[in-house]
Structure formats: structure tokens, C-alpha cells
Amino acid sequence: MKTPLAVAAAAVACLALFGGTALGKPDKVDGMNVPFGRVPQKVQKNRYPRTFYPNTEKLAADEMRIVALGTGMPNQSPSNVAASFLVELGNGESFLFDVGTGSTDRLAGLEPDYSELDTVFASHLHTDHVGDVAALWVGGWLNGRYTPLHVYGPSGSSPELGTKAHVDHIRAAWAWDVTSRAGTLPDAGGEIVAHEFDHSKTAVIYDENGVKVTSFPAIHIRDGSVSFRLDWNGLSFVFGGDSVPNKWFAKEAKGADVVVHECFFTPEQWMKIAGFPYKQAYWVTSQIHTPPQGFGKLMSMVQPRLAVAYHYWNQRDLEFELYGGVRETYSGPLAMADDLTVINVTKDHIEVREVTFNHDSWPQGTSKEWDTAPRGEPATGLMSDWLKQGTLKDLVPPPTQPID
């Protein structure tokens, strides 16, 4: 426990360090926002440091970086949150594939430029794949996004089971929150837009600035699950949400650079760790998910430059068993992803590492563009007079700078 003297000394040190400098704003390096004081360096000749420290490496113009923000399930653990993969491209664009519960905590540790994180591709509407959409929507708005959040996701078997209805309900559920921030934050950043597409079709659902994203059907419990393929600059990334092995994935993922697919437990493992009876364990592991041997067979068909397994608890004893099951049916390049696995991809090299970040890190701050984005009137008039009259006057110091 810190003593009062130590706390006071730390406070003095902080004052000395800050010295009146506005640390709430990011620096701009080569046109990109980075946390104050960071100067990303170019990686030379594929000599990547063993550990990736966020905002220290400059992404090359022809390079893709993939970060596994979350690799777990609905019943997550502190070290293994739900599914989400961040894809950053050398053209400056970033995309999120799924935003499962807890994944925005990992995202925050990267200290990203939230103004660039405005596009989510949702594979299906389970909490472990979209549970943090609201957190990204509002948190990203506070942290620098001044444009709407766009969510691309599949239709369902009926309108109320599709992505549009899901997003509409998120908007309605958080009306108290969002309307109370009006005027303080940029107007457009408080918007969330659904782009619903037909889950039953293989089709290009996004095609902008040289980035093409194709959706194709997945088989998972009910109608309305999909997988995605991103193509950019001769590089490709395939992301499977949840699914049993299927013909669409085998076709669309063929020969891709990085292929991410779930690698679930065997029925026996699920009985052991979750306590399910065999009937239910077999249903979960083998009829709505893909167990290790099935993952391996699928990757043997697809033959990616790198296969990436995820969607399991990352305990070491379980992971070794899963790895052994995969290797029974697949001998190619393989990464068993955990939270914060990072993969750099160029046409001649793939590097797999882990992210290390400061768990006390704060957002990089809002940009000048965020400061000057259009705003309406502050959220006044939302409180009853009797409630306002309960204010204890003169307890809050008056402003020291103009606020009009």
C-alpha cells in the first residue's frame, strides 16, 4: 500500500512532468494520430521485435496487421474475453470483425485512434460476438470518433432477428445515455448505422478504397450466421465467426493468407471442463461448433499461408490437447491464438507475436477534428425543476475560462 508521503511525492512528480503541456491530444506522425510522445518506427527487413508494443511500429504501405482482441466465449475469463479481431491496413484503414463482450477492454489497451474505428463486421448476433457493440459505439465517441459507427451484419430468418433490428434496439436501449451527451460530443459520433445484408448469399458487402469484404453463409444453430473474407492489395484475411465446417468456407477461404476459424473442444473435453452430459456436449461441440479434428480437416482443404485457431479457453493443458487434435488432421502453418496475439502479413512474410501494453493506459485523446466537429445545443432541459432545485449551490468552483 502506498503511504501518504509516497502519494504526495507522485503527485508532485506528475505536476513536474506535465508542466502545463496538454497531454490530452494525440501527436500526428505521417498523418496518423498516435498517443502523445509516441513516434512509430519502420520495421526493417522483417526484423520484428519479439513483443509488439502498440503505437511503436509503423505499418508499411503494403502490410496488414491483425490483432486478436478476444478469442474466448460467452463465459469468458479475465484473461480470455469474447471474440474480436482488429485488422489494420497499410492504407490507414482499420476494421473490426466481431466485437464480443470484453473485447473493448483489450482494444483500449492498444490506445488506438478511435476516429478510424467506425466499421464493424458482425458474423452473428451472439453476445460473445457482438456484446460490446454499444461499448464501442459510446466509448469510441467519447474517445475521438466524430462520425457514425457502421455495423455490417447478416439478416435473420425474420426481420426481428436481423442486424437492423439488433442495432435499432441498441439505439433504443441506450437513448438515456446518448441523448444526455448531446452538445458535449460531436453530433454524428452519436449515430449508429446498420448495414444488413442477405445472410444466404455469397456477396461483396463492402467495396471502398481498394478494400473488398465478401460475406458467405455459415452454419450455426439458426439462419443468420456468416463468415467474411477481406481482400486488399493482394493480401487476404478470412474470418469465421461460429460454424461447423461448410462448403462455402472451404471455397471462399481457399489459398487465403490468414484464415481464422473457430477450434472448439471435443465432447469429452467439454464434459470435463463444463460439466455437460454427453448428449448436450456433443451438440455444442460438434453440431454447432467445430472441434479440433474438424478444424484440421478444413484447413487441410483450404491450405492458407497461416491457419489461426480460436474460440476456446486458453488454459495451457486444454490448449495442448486442442493442438494435438488439430495436428491429427492438419500439418500446415498454424497459430493457436490467444487474446492479444498479433499477426503481421506482407506478401513475402508472416510474423506471429504477442501484444504487451500498460494496463493503466488511457485513450490517446481527442483530435482537433473531433473538437471542431458539428454539435447541437448542450443537453439542458432534460431534468425536472424539483430535481435541479436539490443542487447544493456554491460547492462547485466557477469557470476560469470562457464557456460561452
Q: What is the pLDDT of residue 76?
A: 82
Strand partners, 51: 354
- For 108-128, the three-class secondary structure string (H helix, E strand, C coil) is HHCCCCHHHCCEEECCCCCHH
What kind and span of H or E run contains 273? Answer: helix 267-274
Q: What is the pLDDT of residue 403?
A: 80
Quick check: 246 and 287 in contact, CB under 8 A? no
pLDDT at residue 87 greater than cutoff 60? yes
Exposure string over 274-309, b if 16+ CB within 10 A, otherwise e: eebeeeebbbbbbebbbbbbbbbbbbeebebbbbbb
Q: What is the pLDDT of residue 22?
A: 52
Quick check: 23 and 39 in contact, CB under 8 A? no
pLDDT (mean) for 253-260: 97
pLDDT at residue 77 greater than cutoff 90? no
In the chain, pLDDT over 90 holds for what percent of residues? 85
CA 391, CA 22: separation in Å to the nearest integer?
Answer: 32
Q: What is the pLDDT of residue 8?
A: 45
CA 73, CA 279: separation in Å to the nearest integer?
Answer: 20
pLDDT tens string 286-337: 999 999 999 999 999 999 999 999 999 888 888 999 999 999 999 999 999 9
Q: What is the pLDDT of residue 147?
A: 98
Q: What is the pLDDT of residue 182?
A: 87
In the chain, pLDDT over 70 holds for what percent of residues? 94
pLDDT tens string 136-146: 999 999 999 99
pLDDT (mean) for 364-388: 92
Query: How many C-alpha atoms does 1 have within 13 Å on its Cβ side?
Result: 2
- Confidence label for 394 from pLDDT (cuts 50, 70 and 90): confident
DSSP letter at 160 equals G
3-state secondary structure of 70: strand
pLDDT tens string 4-57: 444 444 444 444 444 445 567 999 999 899 999 999 999 999 999 999 999 999
pLDDT at residue 367 greater than cutoff 60? yes
pLDDT at residue 102 greater than cutoff 70? yes
| Amino acid, res. 142 | L
pLDDT tens string 183-222: 899 999 999 999 999 999 999 999 999 999 999 999 999 9
Query: Phi then psi for 284, rounded to 5 degrees?
Result: -65, -50
pLDDT (mean) for 233-252: 97
pLDDT (mean) for 340-367: 95
- Confidence label for 379 from pLDDT (cuts 50, 70 and 90): confident
The average confidence (pLDDT) of the chain is: 93
- Confidence label for 3 from pLDDT (cuts 50, 70 and 90): low
Cβ partners under 8 Å of residue 127, min gap 6: 74, 82, 100, 101
Cβ partners under 8 Å of residue 286, min gap 6: 244, 266, 267, 294
pTM for this model (two decimals): 0.93
Q: What is the pLDDT of residue 24?
A: 79
pLDDT (mean) for 157-185: 96
Structural domains in the chain, sorted by start: 57-376 (3.60.15.10)
Q: What is the pLDDT of residue 23?
A: 66
pLDDT (mean) for 81-98: 97
CA 39, CA 55: separation in Å to the nearest integer?
Answer: 8
